[in-house]
Amino acid sequence: ELTIMSLLQDPIIDEYQMSDYSFAVLGSCVFGGMIVGGLAASSSADWYGRRPVLQWTNVIFCISGLLSALAAEFWTFVCLRICCSIAIGAMIPVGMSLLLEISPTNHRALMGMSLAGTAWSFGTLSACMVGFGFKTYMGDNPFWWRGVLLACAVPGVLTLPYVFIGLPESPHYLLVRHRKDELKECLKQMGNSNQTPRLAVMEVADDLKGNVAQDSARQSFDDLQTLFAEDALWTTLYLAVANGTCGFIYAGQNFIYPKILQEKYEVELSDQFKAVAMNCIAELGVVFLALWAMDSPSLGRKHTNTLGFIATVLCAIGAVLLREDLESFKAMNCLIRAAVSCPFTVIGIYAGELYPSSLRATAVFSATLWGRLAAMFSTLVVTAAYRSSANDVFYEFIALASVATIASILYPRETLGQPLPLTMSDMRSYHIGMWGAGADYVPLKPGSATQKIRESLDDE
């Protein structure tokens, strides 16, 4: 969303007679919409299910995306893009939660990265290619940018029938909400698909009633308070620092990079599309590297994040030192985006594994919330810094990535190869202090209900 808006900023500014700061405010409104959508959808998904929330948010995305491309009046355009961003913000945490909950432990990173990393990068790359194609073949036609927005809504339209017909509900959600008949049917279908039609999971479902009831009593529609309870406080604070840093740098660099190329180096718009597309290709390479690293026993989720932040610091320093040479500057910016995309994508999986199924969608939203908040203000902050000096933008990136590096080193928990917790009591069983002794993961008790049921779900 922000990539394509930043690349289209010149024709949009010309169409609606906007100033630079007005466009920066529009970028902030986009992320504000994502926060509103994520907040509403994550709580709804934890109470009413992942599937219905994804269905209706996809409808909102399709309608607002298509209509915004046809908007003739400025405020109509703004409102429709905000509605589109609300839908995007809703789909991200709920989609990630569903994907993690239907993936077996040994394939969780692969499946999660296919959404948080590969699909995201391919989508951005496709948007750049579409933008370049429309600009090239429509030439001076003032409506070329509207064709780009229409094309960006097409994937949602094409997948809409499957979302209503074929998308499954999460067995984890059905379990913690005691919807046993639906759970049996869901597991039967999964078992038949995997040629392991067994329902051993139902034998231990009753053992969870006490824990789930306790968690349900603690939850309300303001579930975010639960994330700051003693059991989850240090995890929530770490994810706030790490994802906030990722959101600020990723969105800030996406937003200001085309502007620097145009104003400082006089790069043409078509070449800006190519430069951003190269960034996407580099990002894809890092995503595949991160997929290997986060499943490596010597690195895991925690150390992969740490290395990503260290690389971001080094690349931002390189952008300052090599700014006089255009090609070197473009290479460093390419690497900045690629480096920060590593922890940005890993955190989406990491957060879903750290928190229990009883509020996983809310927790994943909370983790992304800090990134969205940081991204919402990044457009204004980097614009102000750029007015002073282009180097000041990269100094901000260096400072934030350094703080995130320290936080990643200090945070002790690892989730590689571990079962997903179902309730807050499961999370409590392996809770350890931020600076407490013993940085290793404390596993769930052997033979516990959660351990048995997680193994059964994996078998199915």
Lowest mean pLDDT among 45-54, 100-109, 199-208, 297-306: 199-208
Distances (CA, A) of 118 to 115, 121, 288: 6, 5, 8
- Copy the structure tokens of residue 402: 């350094």
Q: Is the pLDDT of residue 9 over 50?
A: yes
Give me the numbers of helices (H) and strands (E) for the chain, helices first please.
19, 0
Reported confidence tier of residue 458, pLDDT bands at 50, 70, 90: low
pLDDT band at 412 (very low <50, low <70, confident <90, very high): confident
Pairwise CA distance, residues 38 & 402, whole Å: 28
In the prediction, which pLDDT does 425 show?
Answer: 67
pLDDT band at 454 (very low <50, low <70, confident <90, very high): low
> Residue 222 above 60 pLDDT?
no
247 in Cβ contact with 370 (< 8 Å): yes
Residue 21 has pLDDT above 80, yes or no: no
Highest mean pLDDT among 118-122, 171-175, 208-212: 171-175
Phi-psi region of 2 (alpha: psi -120 to 50; beta: other; left: phi over 0): alpha
104: how many CB neighbours lie within 10 A of its CB?
13
Give the residue among 334, 343, 328, 321 at the shortest CA–CA distance from 404.
343
Rounded to an integer, the average pLDDT of 189-203 is 61
Structure confidence at residue 305 (pLDDT): 94
Between CA 425 and CA 451 the distance in angstroms is: 13
pLDDT for the residue numbered 442: 44
Q: What is the pLDDT of residue 396?
A: 96
Say if pTM beats, i.e. exceeds, 0.85.
Answer: no
What's the gap between Cα 36 and its chain centre? 15
**More confidently predicted of 325 and 230:** 325
Average pLDDT value over all residues in the chain: 80
**342-360: per-residue pLDDT in tens?**
898 888 788 888 888 777 8
pLDDT for the residue numbered 221? 36
Q: How many residues are given for the chain?
A: 460
Report the percentage of the chain scoring pLDDT > 70.
83
Burial annotation 394-421 (CB, 10 A radius, 16+ → b, else e): bebbbebbbebbebbeebbbbbbebbbb
Q: Among 63-67, 145-149, 350-354, 425-429, where is mean pLDDT lowest? A: 425-429
**pLDDT score, position 433:** 36
Tokens encoding 308: 């990503």
User: Which DSSP string corresponds to 349-382?
Assistant: HHHHHHS-GGGHHHHHHHHHHHHHHHHHHHHHHH
